[in-house]
Homo-oligomer: A and B are copies of this chain.
Amino acid sequence: MDDEKILLSHGAGGLKTQRLIRGIFRKHLGNPYLQQELDAALIEVSSRKIAFTTDSFVVSPIFFPGGDIGKLAVCGTVNDLAVMGAKPLYLTLGLIIEEGLPMETLDRLVYSMGQTAHQAKVQIVAGDTKVVEHGACDQIYINTSGVGAVPPDLDLSPRRMAPGDKVIVSGPVGNHGIAILAAREGLKFSPPPASDCTYLSDLIDRVVSTGAGIKCMRDPTRGGLATTLVELAGQSGLGIKLFEEDVPVDPQVKGACSMLGLDPLYMANEGKIALVVESKDAPAVVHEIQKHEAGRGAGIIGEVVGDHPGKVVMETGLGTLRALHMLEGDPLPRIC
């Protein structure tokens, strides 16, 4: 690229936009769809049932231990598709960039997106770049939208939950939230805590392929595991009982949370799933998840109950019951 920094004219839709497309986007994301340079990509999806989702990413800082805003934007949308049981196929990419962003920063982020998309076996088929004046955004905001093919016979829904079903989480919670907080506020940890940011489509595909009785899946991002489970309880009309001692939390995250007065159950995750599974299949599902690198710390953390309809209660280490609610307020803005 000729220019060292992003200029307003890179977003004007003219010559400089075209140079940006060819010099950076095609280089790192290259595929036949982008090559066409059409107003919309023409894709083929073999299933009539399609999952369609969107997410915008405004995380600060844009580089953090374990990832960056580009990797996060690809993984986040891939995971939203995967937890619906869909095979993620195609993504679009919408960038809003602050004038003056070093070209090298954009290049690194788009490279990261390309690598992540390649690993997650999705293609970024269409994109859009807007540039705003210095001060009208903070470096870069990224939107990804995605489509995936849903197997015709798969029915995942909180409405299928039943008392006795087990609640499983694929690994320790709160890592992304603590990693961002530490990076943003310059907290000194050694080693610095790393985000769990990763795509889960491979892991989910393996688990679903076992034919186990999976009722529904969610990725507990903003609002953390607690908020996700409260949503599931509300949508199913059933209760969920958690066992505090069974919820995996890394020692470093636990330490940071207790020091800062935060609750890991409300901290964002970017590489975890929560599943509700038929009781008889739960141990096999945990075993299958643990085979995958992103699921080593998986475990059963609770169960669906007929009591406490629409609510989540947690049995604490002391044997008392604590009601969990949705996240209120915003302890950590711009976490994703």
What would 11 more interface pairs be, CB under 8 Å, given A40-B83, A40-B146?
Answer: A12-B329, A13-B222, A15-B326, A16-B330, A37-B235, A38-B84, A39-B81, A41-B52, A44-B50, A45-B48, A58-B136
Most buried by B among A81, A127, A145: A145
User: Which listed residue, B79, B148, B327, touches A14 by the CB 8 Å rule?
Assistant: B327
User: Does A295 make an interface contact (CB < 8 A)?
Assistant: no
Q: In the assembled complex, which residues on chain B have CB atoms less than 8 Å from the CB atom of A13?
A: 221-223, 227, 268, 327
The answer to whether B222 touches A39, judged by C-beta atoms less than 8 angstroms apart, is no
Q: Is the interface of A mostly helix, strand, loop or mixed?
A: mixed
Q: In the assembled complex, which residues on chain B have CB atoms less than 8 Å from the CB atom of A55?
A: 94, 128
Q: How large is the interface on A (under 10, 10 to 19, 20 to 34, 35 or more residues)?
A: 35 or more
User: Which listed residue, B7, B45, B49, touches A42 by the CB 8 Å rule?
Assistant: B49
Measured CB to CB, the residues of A under 8 A from B are: 7-9, 11-18, 37-46, 48-58, 79-81, 83-84, 86, 90, 92-96, 125-128, 130-133, 135-138, 141, 143, 145-148, 150, 218-219, 221-223, 227, 231, 235, 268, 325-331, 333-334
Copies of this chain in its oligomeric complex: 2
